[in-house]
Amino acid sequence: MSGEDIKNEITLTATQLGEAARRGLIEPAQCDALVQFAVEPVPIAEPLALETTDSEEPFRLVGGGNDVFVALGILLLMAGVWPAISSWMPDLVTSCAVMAVFLWGLAEIVTRQRRMKLSSLVIAIAFTTAVITGLVSWIATNVDFIEAQNPLQALDLRDQIRGVALMGIGATAFAALAWFARFRVPIMTAVLVVTALAFVATGIANGVVDGILSWRTPVANEADAVALGKSLLWVPLVMGLVVFAIGVFLDLKDRHRDTLLSDCAFWMHVISAPLIVHPLFVLATGTMPFFANIMPVESSGGDTSATITLLILVAVFFYTALAIDRRSLLVPALGYFATVGVVSLVQATASTTGVPTFAVVLALVGILVITFGAGWQKIRAATIATTLPKAILNRLPPIGTKVA
């Protein structure tokens, strides 16, 4: 055996590290940290992405083929355990509580020790579902709502409804916080953000109802209802911008996408995108605020202004996604524009060519997805690197870093 081989096989015991600290070779704090590091299970580290224009990141929600295999096994396991628990337990609340405990124990192995990403995501979603289902069942069983004979009488129940809603939101938030504190699963930050938004929305809804009942907010006809709906669109828009800002803040703290902050930022962008897209589209193009009619309305000049505004919105979303290096921001936006907005752009083409509208829409969105997917980093280099100041570029994810 060569001297190099001997060096490669050298190991140090805790006693030797302690002696090294006593001699001043290392700091005592470093000694304690190394001993703790030696006894803890260490997950396989992901290689850092090289900052080249051809660098791409593996899908961050999946840890590998074995992770997918284990996730499938977990789904089968839950499909078998849940009916068994339901048959043994006297009611749904108890069944959900037992299932949540079971999932916590499963996460101690799969998440805490093995750090399997997809499997941990599946367990976290199942745990959240069990908690919410149990809460809804408990509320339905134990909270005695007064039977309302008409909508106006139902409005009198708003204090009771608000109290129950806040109780359920708080319990869900507590469960998500406990899970995240223990297992560090990023999707639980999304649950926490959603509960925070629900808490704010509950307070705003109560204020709106009070305004309607006191006649401060008139809803005497359809026009009043539409006006109220459009004014309320500022609520999800502001919420979405706040969540988006949180995601950007986390991204700036982890430019190379190597830590938990980046994974949490991914979910912030997934939540913020739909909250921003619809209000902006409605407020900018003058559409109806409700999903019954969300095509651009015709003004005296036709649909030209709405079409131009829609194109600008699409361009802004693509540019923003390129700047912060987040494809996840485009997924809800593309889905929305494909099913709602882009239809207005291709309606004329379909009517003149005879091609079905949905076919034109799907083809257009498909071209965009393929183009940006295949050349994402090159497009970033051609647009972001040439249009933003260097001071800003130095704070954004480098060209060629990991993407999501």
- Could you please report the per-residue DSSP string of 353-364? H---HHHHHHHH
Per-residue model confidence (pLDDT) at position 354: 60
The torsion of the CA quartet 398, 401, 402, 403, rounded to 10 degrees, works out to 60
Pairwise pLDDT comparison (147 vs 252), residue with the higher score: 252
Mean pLDDT value of segment 271-296: 69
Mean pLDDT value of segment 261-267: 91
Please check the confidence at residue 403 and state whether its pLDDT lies above 70: no
CA distances (Å), origin 79, targets 73, 209, 222: 10, 42, 47
Please check the confidence at residue 323 and state whether its pLDDT lies above 70: yes
Mean pLDDT of the chain: 78
From the CB of residue 358, how many other CB atoms can be counted at a distance below 10 Å? 13
Give the 3-state secondary structure of residue 156: coil
Per-residue model confidence (pLDDT) at position 46: 41
Please check the confidence at residue 59 and state whether its pLDDT lies above 90: no
**Neighbouring-strand partners of residue 299:** 302
Chain-centroid distance, C-alpha 88 = 35
Highest mean pLDDT pick, 61-70, 153-162, 219-228, 382-391: 382-391
Give the 3-state secondary structure of residue 300: coil
User: Does residue 124 contact residue 141 with C-beta atoms inside 8 Å?
Assistant: no
Per-residue model confidence (pLDDT) at position 99: 96
Please give the DSSP secondary-structure letter assigned to residue 327: G
Per-residue model confidence (pLDDT) at position 26: 74
Give the 3-state secondary structure of residue 54: coil
Which residues have a Cβ under 8 Å from the Cβ of 314 and sit 6 or more positions away? Answer: 333, 337, 341
CA distance 397 to 373: 17
Per-residue model confidence (pLDDT) at position 30: 72
Per-residue model confidence (pLDDT) at position 327: 82
Per-residue model confidence (pLDDT) at position 297: 45
Please check the confidence at residue 183 and state whether its pLDDT lies above 80: yes
Return the structure tokens found at 106: 């499963």
Per-residue model confidence (pLDDT) at position 313: 80
Percentage of the chain beyond pLDDT 90 is 31
| 344: confidence class by pLDDT, cuts 50, 70, 90 | low
Please check the confidence at residue 37 and state whether its pLDDT lies above 70: no
For residue range 109-145, what is the model confidence (pLDDT) as tens digits?
A: 999 988 888 999 999 999 999 999 999 999 888 776 6
The torsion of the CA quartet 69, 124, 191, 174, rounded to 10 degrees, works out to -170
Per-residue model confidence (pLDDT) at position 286: 65
Which residues have a Cβ under 8 Å from the Cβ of 95 and sit 6 or more positions away? Answer: 82, 85, 86, 89, 134
Per-position b or e across 186-210, b if 16+ CB within 10 A of its CB: bbbbbbbbbbebeeebbeebeebee
Q: Phi, psi at residue 293, to the nearest 5°?
A: -155, 95
Mean pLDDT value of segment 279-297: 60
